[in-house]
Structures are given as C-alpha cells and as structure tokens.
Structure 1
Amino acid sequence: MAERYSSFQSGGRMWLLQRITAVFLLVVLAFHFFLLHFVHHADEVSFLASSGRMEQLSYYSLMILFLVTATFHGVNGVYNALVNQGLTGTKRTVIKWTLVAASVVLIAQGIRTANAWAGIGLY
C-alpha cells in the first residue's frame, strides 16, 4: 500500500488555510461565472461595465480578497509541491523567499489595477 506523503502537517495551520482558500475560491468562481456568463452575457461585458462594478465597495472588496486568496492558495500549493518533491536546504529557502517576493509584487500590481478600474487614485 502506498504511503501518504505531504509537506503539510495534517491538521496544521497551513493545511487548514489551503482548504479554506480552496472553498472560498470555488464560491467566488461560481459567483463570477454566474454574474458574467448568465446575468451578463459576453457581448454585454465591457470595460465601462466592469469599471462600474469595481466602483461598488462590496464588489471591489471581494475582488481584492479574491486576489489575495488566489495568490496565497497558488503560491502555497506550488511551494508545498516543490517541498514534496524533495526541495530542501538553501534551495528551499531561496524558493520560499522568491515566491513571497513574487506574491507581494503580484498583489501590489493587482491592487493598483483594481484601484485604477475603480477610479481610486493615490494623489
């Protein structure tokens, strides 16, 4: 019988966060598909309409939360997949901090884009 191996400690904090973010992402993706594929059809979606949605605090907040959650979920999954493949020592540390830096850049750029779409300027 094959042994189960995972870098996640079963029942640990990161294990739990990975599962919670997965559920959140499924719910938000379902909302996205419902809103942009059934309520508004593809030919009705425009930059102006998207900008209008982003100007609503609830939608803007949901998209920022989606950005942060998806980034965490994806980066955490990649990191743990690499650890499961045997990444150790200095390489593990370098990869971890590279992924953290890439996450910070991705989130910062995503927030800048969301702010521009919502008409929020930093003057």
Structure 2
Amino acid sequence: MAERYSSFTPGGTGWFLQRVTAAFLVVVLAFHFFLLHFVNHAYEITFLGTQARMENIGYFLTMVLFLITATFHGVNGVYNALVNQGLEGTQKKVVLAVLVIASLALVAQGTYVALTMRGMI
C-alpha cells in the first residue's frame, strides 16, 4: 500500500491555519456572492457603489481580511502541493521566497486599492 505523505504536520500550525482560512473563506465568499450577485446584480455594480460599500468600516475590514486570508490560503496550498511533489533544497527555498514576495506584493496592491476606494489615499 502506498504511504500517505503530506508536508502538513497534522495538528501543526500550517495545517491548522489552512483549515481556519478555508472556513473563513467559505463564509466570506458566501457573503460576497450574496451581496454582489443576488442583492446587487453584476450590471448594477459601479465604481461609485464600490466606493460607497468601502466607506462602511465593517465591509472594508471584511474585504481586506478576505484578501489577506485568500492570499495566505492559496499560496500556502500551492507551496505545500509543490513540497508534496518532491520540491526540496535550494529550489524549495527559492520557491518559498518567490511566493512570499508575490504574496506581499498582492496584499500591498490590494490594500492600496481598498484604501483608495475608501478615500483614504
């Protein structure tokens, strides 16, 4: 029988954070779809409407947390999938560095856009 291998240590921090972020994303994604696809239909979404929603501190914080959580969850999943496929040594360190830099750039850009939409920049 083939051995089961996972780069996640069951019960470890990475394993735990992957599950917590998944649960958070399911809830926030449901909120996002409900608000932006059922309450407001796609053709009703405007720049001014987005600015108005971002002025609500709860919505703003939810969207920024959504960005950070989705970025972490996605990048952590990709990294661990690559490790599970045998990535190791220098390649593993380089991939980790590239993913961390890309993640920080994505979160910085997304936060900048959110702050701009809120009128803070």
TM-score class, shorter: over 0.9
Give yes or no for the alignment of 1:99 onto 2:99. Answer: yes
Task: Normalising by structure 1, report the TM-score.
Answer: 0.95
Counterpart amino acid of residue 50 in structure 1: T
Equivalent-residue separation in structure 2 for 1:43 and 1:94 (angstroms) = 43
Counterpart amino acid of residue 59 in structure 1: Y
Give yes or no for the alignment of 1:58 onto 2:53. Answer: no
Equivalent-residue separation in structure 1 for 2:84 and 2:37 (angstroms) = 37
Q: Tell me what 2:113 maps to.
A: 113
Equivalent-residue separation in structure 2 for 1:102 and 1:76 (angstroms) = 12
Give RMSD over aligned pairs: 0.9
Alignment deviations for residues 46-92 of structure 1 (CA, whole Å, 9 cap, x no partner): 11111100111110100110010001000000000000000000110
Equivalent-residue separation in structure 1 for 2:59 and 2:33 (angstroms) = 14
The gaps in structure 1 that reach 5 residues or longer are: none
Equivalent-residue separation in structure 2 for 1:2 and 1:45 (angstroms) = 50
* CA displacement at 1:43 relative to structure 2: 2.3
Equivalent-residue separation in structure 2 for 1:2 and 1:40 (angstroms) = 49
Task: Normalising by structure 2, report the TM-score.
Answer: 0.96
Equivalent-residue separation in structure 1 for 2:37 and 2:109 (angstroms) = 26
Q: Tell me what 1:4 maps to.
A: 4
Deviates most, 39-48 or 98-107? 39-48
Give yes or no for the alignment of 1:41 onto 2:57. Answer: no
* Secondary structure at 2:95 match in 1: helix
* CA displacement at 1:3 relative to structure 2: 2.5
What is the aligned length? Answer: 121
